[in-house]
Structure 1
Amino acid sequence: MSSVEKEKGVGEGQLRVGEAGFDDVVAHRLEEMGYKQELKRNLGMVAVLGLSFAIMAVPFGTSTTFPIALVDGGPVTILYGWILVSLISCCMAASLAEVCSVYPTSGGVYYWAAMLSTPKYQAFSSYLTGWLGTVGNWTVTASITFGGSQLILAAVTLFHDDYVPTAWQTVLVYWASLLGSLAINILYNRHLDKLNTICLYWTGASVIIIIVTLLTRAEKRNSAKFAFSHFDASLSGWPQAWSFFVGLLQAAYTLTGYGMVAALCEEVHSPQKEVPKAMVYSVIAAGITGIVYLLPIIFVLPVDKIEYLLDVPSLQPMPELYKIVTRSAAGAMCLLTLILGIWFFAAVGSLTAASRCTWAFSRDGGIPLFKVWRKVNTHYDVPLNSLILSTIVCALLGLIYLGSSAAFNAFTGVATICLGCSYAFPILCSLLRRRKMVRNAPYSLGKFGWVINSITVIWITFTIALFCMPTSIPVTPQTMNYASVVFAGFSAIAALWYVTYGHKNYKGPQVAVLARRMSLSSDHGDRRASMASHRSVGEILAQ
C-alpha cells in the first residue's frame, strides 16, 4: 500500500475489494478474528431480517403467551406492556447491532464478551456468556416448538369439545415437530433464505386477514375505554403494580430472538452492515406488528368468558377465542392455520440459529465433546452434528411437561433470562471500558450510546428476578414457574464442565492466541509489543 493511500485512509480491505470480491474481504476479516470460512455466504439483509422476524413470530408468540398478560392485568398489560418492551427492545437491539458491526462472527455474544473484556477475564467472560447464549437459543427453540405443538392439539378441541390433550400426546407432537424442523434445516438449507423472505409476507398477510375477520365477525366489541385503560389483576393474586411487570413476560419473550441471528454472520454477505440493520429493523417491524395484532384482539375479547378461556384443556386460549368471536369452528381453524404457518417459520428459524450458536461455541471448546459438534458437513453445508445436538437437547426438555403443565412457562422464562443476560454482558463490558471499543463501529450509536446501553443493562438486570416469578399466586405445582429450576440445571452442567475441563483448557475465542503472542513478544523486550500487550485483542481488532 502506498503512503498516499495510507494518508487517505484507504485500508487493505478496501483495496482488495476490486481484486477478489467483497466476500474475500469478509473472509479475510474473519481470519483476522481467528476463524476460517467454512459456511457459504448466501444470505442478504432481507433474509436475515426475515429470520429474526420469524424467530420473534409476533402473532404466534403473543398468542401462545396471551394467558400471561391476560391474568396479570389484561388490556393495559397487553397493550402498554407491549409498547414499553418494544421501546426497550429497540435499545437492546441497537446496542447489540453496534457491537456486531465491529465483530461480525457467528460466535456472537460470547465472542463479543471476550473482545470487550480485558485479557485477564477474556476466557471466563466468553465462557459464561457462551453458555447463557447457547442455553437461551436452545430454550427459545424449545418454547417455540412446544407452543406450536399445543396449538396443533388445540385445533382438535375446536371440533371436539370433550377432547383433553394428554401430556404424552403433547410431547409426541412436540418431538415430531422438532424432527420436522431438523429435516428442513438439513435438506433445504440452501433455500432457507427464500423461506425467511416468505415469512415476512406470510406474517403480514396473516395479521391483516386475522384482524379483519375478527373485527367484522364479532357480535360485540369492547369500548375504547376498556381497550386502552382497563386493568384487572385480581386473577393473578399479585399487587397491581407488580402484576403489570410480571405480565411483561408476554412481550419480553416474544421480542427476544433478534440477537440470535448474529450466529449467522458467517453466512451473510457484508455482515458488519447487514446483520446489525436486520436486528434493529426486525424489532421495529415486530413492535408495529404487535400493536396492529393485539389491539383488535383486545376490542373483541369476550370479557364474560376470560376465566373460561384461561381454563381450556389445551392451555392455549387463542384458538377458542377465535371460535367464540367468529362463531365457527371452521372459521377459527382457518385463522389458526395462519398462526401455525407463522409457527412453522419460527420453529425452523430458531433451530437454525440454535445450531449455529452451538457450532460456533464448540469451535472454541465451550461444550463437552466439542470436537464432534464443531464439524461442518460439506455435503449439506451445515453443522450437522450441532443441529442434531440442539434437537436432542430440546427433545429432552420436553420431558419436563410430563411432570408439570407449567413447562412452557419455564421455557419462556429461561429463554428470556438467558438471552437477556447474554446480551447484557458484552454491553456492560463495553460500558465499563467507556465504549472505546465501539467508537469506530460501522453501525454507531454515537452520543446516544451511553444512554441506550445503560437502559439495556438496567432492564435486563431487573428482568432476571422478574421472569422467575410465577404468573399467579398462590403457587401450586401446576402454576409454579420452573424457569429457575431449568436455569439451575444448565448452570450445574456448565459449572461441572468448567471445573473438569474449562478452567485449564478453555482459552476463549481463537483470536486469544494473538494475545499470547503479543505477551511473548513483550517478554523479549519489544517495547511496542509491550505497549500492545496491555491492550485487549478486541481493541486491536476494533481498529
Structure 2
Amino acid sequence: MSGTSSPGEGKRMTMTSTMERRDLPKNLSMVSIMGLSFAIMAVPFGLSTTLSLSLTNGESVTVFWGWVLVSLISLGIAASLAEICAVYPTAGGVYYWSAMLSTPRYRAIASWITGWLTLVGNWTVTLSICFSTGQLFLSAVTIFHDDFVPNTWQTVLMFWGVMAVCTGINAFFSKHLNLLNTICMIWTAASVLILLIVLLATARHRNTASYVFAHYDASRSGYPSGWSFFVGLLQAAYTLTGYGMVASLCEEVQNPDREVPRAMVLSVLMAGLTGIVYLIPLLFVLPEVKMILSVANGQPIGLIFTTVTGSRAGGMGLLALILVIAIFAGTGALTAASRCTFAFARDGAIPGSRYWSQYNYNLNVPLNGLLLSSTICCLLGLIYFGSNAAFQSFVGVATICLSTSYGFPILVSVLNRRQAVRKSSFSLGKFGYAINIATVTWIILSVVLFCMPVSIPVTAAGMNYASVVFSGFATVSVVWYAVRGRKTFSGPTEVVLDGHRADEEDTRVVMKEGI
C-alpha cells in the first residue's frame, strides 16, 4: 500500500458499491453474529453427517484428535480473518479485503478471484448442509423400517424440501434473525448435554478409554496409514468452515469493526469445545464400525442412537435434536450466501448483477440474491443422479473454496509485511506472522487432501468430484471476466469516508494509490 499523502488521509475509509442507495438496517448484534456462525458450523450435525469419512480413515484417533487439530488451525484462521475484518468491516468480506490489501495493479483480479471463491464456497456449503439434512431426514425412516433404502428421487426431493424451508425462513423471518440465532445456540448447547447424558446412561456396551483416545485403524481406506489420517480430517474441516461467511453481514451490525471479529473467533472456540463434549461420549458408546459403515445412504447417526439406547423411539428422539440443528444450519448458511451474492453483485461481478443486487427493504433481505443462491443449490443437487458420492463432492468443494478464499487475503497481508493490520483493533501482535503462515500452509495442504476420494481403489460411483465442480465454476468465472469483468470490474468502486460518500478527488486517490 502506498504511503503517499492524499486528500483523504487521516479519514476512516471503507468501500461500497455504486449500486447501493440506502444503508442496510443494522439490527444484528455480536451475539446474533456469533450465533449465526455457530449455527452454520452446527457441530453435532456436521460431525454426525460426516462421521463415515473419519471412521473409514483411522476411526477414533482421526475422529477425536483430528477434531482437536483442525479446531486449533481454524481458531488461527478465524483470528487472522478477524484481524483484517477489524480494519475493513464490509459486506464484501474476503473479496473486499483482498482488493484493499493488494497493490493497485492487482486489486481488481485479486478481488475477482477471491470473490468467486467465497461465492462458490457459500453456495456449496449451503448445498452440502441442506443435502445432508435431507439424507438425515430419510435416515429417520430407516429407524422404524429396517429395509427402507431411499432412492435417488426421494433423496433429491427431500433435499429440495429442506431448501424450500430454509429459503422461506430467510425470506419471511429475516427480521427475527437475532432471536433465531440465539435460540440456535441455546438449542445446540442443550442438545449436546442431553445427548451426553442419554448416551452414557443407556449404553449397554462401552468402549475403553484406550479405544476412544488411541485406537487407530486405517485399513478400510486403502491409503498409507499416515496419509489416511489427513484424508479423514475432511470431517472436522467441513464442520469448521462457516465462521468467515458471517463477514458478509458486517453492514447489518452496529460497530462491525469490533463486534464481528469477536463473534468469528468466539464462535470457533465455542464450536471446538462443543465438538469435544459431543465426540467423547459418542466414541465411548460407538457400536461396531463395520455395521456403521454399511448404512446405505452414508448417514449412520440414527442407527447409532437406536443401537445405543436400545429403543427406536429413543433413537428417533435423539436424532430429532440433530435435525433441528440441521435446519438452523441450513438457514444460517443460506443467510450468509444470500448476503455474499448481494455484495458481489453490487460490484458487477455476477452475470445479471443489476437484478441480483436489489435489496428488499420490506422483508429486510436481499431477496433476489437469496432466490439465486437457493436455485443454484437446487440445480447442483441434480449431480446426485449421476453419482451417489455427490455429497462428498459437495463437502469437498465447499471446504476448498471457503478455505482458499480465507487464505488469499491472509497471504496477501503477509506478502505486504502485515502493514495494513498493524493498527487493527483485533491485532495478533508479535504472533501474527507465525499464525498467518501456519494457516496458509494448512490451507494449501487441505486443497490437495479434499480433492481426494475417501478411500481407494476408486470407482466412478465413489469418485470425489470436488475438483470437477470447482473447475466448472472456475470456467464460468474466467469466461465472465474475459467477456465483461476485465472491462468493467475494478473491485469495489465507490469510497465512503466516515459514513459519507467521498468526493471525486478522494475516490480517485484511494483507488489509484490504496489506503
Could you tell me which residue of structure 2 aligns to residue 440 of structure 1? 423
Unaligned runs of 5+ in 2: 1-9
- For the residue of structure 1 that corresponds to 2:491, the secondary structure is coil
**Residue type of the alignment partner of 1:168:** W
Give a deviation string over 1:74-116, Cα, whole Å, max 9, x none. 0000011000000000000000001001110000000000000
- Alpha-carbon contact 1:38-1:376 (below 8 Å) kept: no
Matched, 1:44 2:29: yes
Alignment pair present for 1:492 and 2:478: no
Q: C-alpha distance in 1, partners of 2:236/2:450?
A: 12
Instruction: Work out the number of aligned pairs and report it.
Output: 502
Q: Which residue of 1 aligns with 2:138?
A: 153
Regions of 4+ moved over 2 Å: 28-38, 511-521, 532-535
TM-score in terms of structure 2 length: 0.94
2:337 to 350, 354, 358: 354
- Distance, in Å, in 2 between the alignment partners of 1:153 and 1:387 is 26
- What displacement does 1:38 show? 3.2
Does 1:451 find its partner at 2:434?
yes
Alignment of 1:6-21 (within 5 A): none
- Candidates 294, 297, 313, aligned match of 1:314: 297
Query: Contact 1:37–1:266 (CA<8 Å) still a contact in 2?
Result: no
Report the Cα offset of residue 478 of structure 1. Answer: 2.0
Partner of 1:220, secondary structure, is coil
Matched residue, 1:229: 214
Shift, 1:535, TM fit: 3.7
Write the distance in 2 (CA, Å) between the matches of 1:479 and 1:410. Answer: 10
The one of 443, 464, 467 equivalent to 1:481 is 464
Residue aligning to 2:175: 190
CA RMSD of aligned residues (A): 2.1
Q: 1:485 to 1:520 in 2, by over 3 A?
A: closer
Higher relative contact order (CA 8 A, sep 6+): 2
Q: Could you tell me which residue of structure 2 aligns to residue 331 of structure 1?
A: 314
Cα distance in 2 between the residues matched to 1:468 and 1:520: 42
Question: What are the Cα deviations for residues 381-406 of structure 1, in whole angstroms up to 9, with x where unaligned?
Answer: 21110000000000011001111111
Per-residue CA distance 1:259-306 (angstroms, 9 max, x = gap) = 00000001111110000000000000000000100111111111xx31
2:122–2:340 Cα contact (<8 Å) kept? yes
Tell me how far 1:344 sits from its aligned partner: 1.0
Structure 1 residues 318-368: Cα deviation after superposition (integer angstroms, max 9, x where no partner): 110111111111100000000001011101100000000000000001111
Aligned to 1:124: 109
Alignment partners' CA distance in 2, 1:300 and 1:33: 57
Residue 220 of structure 1 is matched in structure 2 by 205
**1:138 and 2:123 are equivalent in the alignment:** yes
Contact 1:363 1:371 (C-alpha < 8 Å) held by counterparts? yes
CA shift, 1:211, in A, is: 1.4
Q: For the structure 1 residues 127 and 329, does the alpha-carbon distance in structure 2 shift closer, same or farther, using more than 3 Å as the test?
A: same
| Equivalent-residue separation in structure 2 for 1:65 and 1:94 (angstroms) | 26
Gaps of 5+ in 1: 1-10, 14-27, 522-528
The answer to whether the Cα contact below 8 Å between 1:35 and 1:510 also exists between their aligned partners in 2 is no
Q: TM-score, normalised by structure 1?
A: 0.89
- For residues 127 and 93 of structure 1, the distance between their equivalents in structure 2, rounded to whole angstroms, comes to 22
Of the three residues 186, 190, 202, the one matched with 1:201 is: 186
Pick the structure with greater CA Rg: 1
Q: Using the alignment, how far apart are the partners of 1:396 and 1:266 within structure 2?
A: 30
In the alignment, is the contact (CA less than 8 A) between 2:94 and 2:114 conserved in 1? yes
- How many angstroms apart in 2 are the aligned matches of 1:456 and 1:535? 29
CA distance in structure 1 between the partners assigned to 2:512 and 2:451 by the alignment? 40
Note if contact 1:139-1:414 (Cα within 8 Å) is conserved in structure 2. Answer: yes
Cα offsets for 1:133-187 (capped at 9, x unmatched): 0000000000000111000000000000111101110100111111111111111
In structure 1, give the amino acid aligned to 2:220.
L
Q: SS of the residue aligned with 1:436? A: coil
In the TM superposition, residue 47 of structure 1 has moved relative to its aligned partner by 0.4
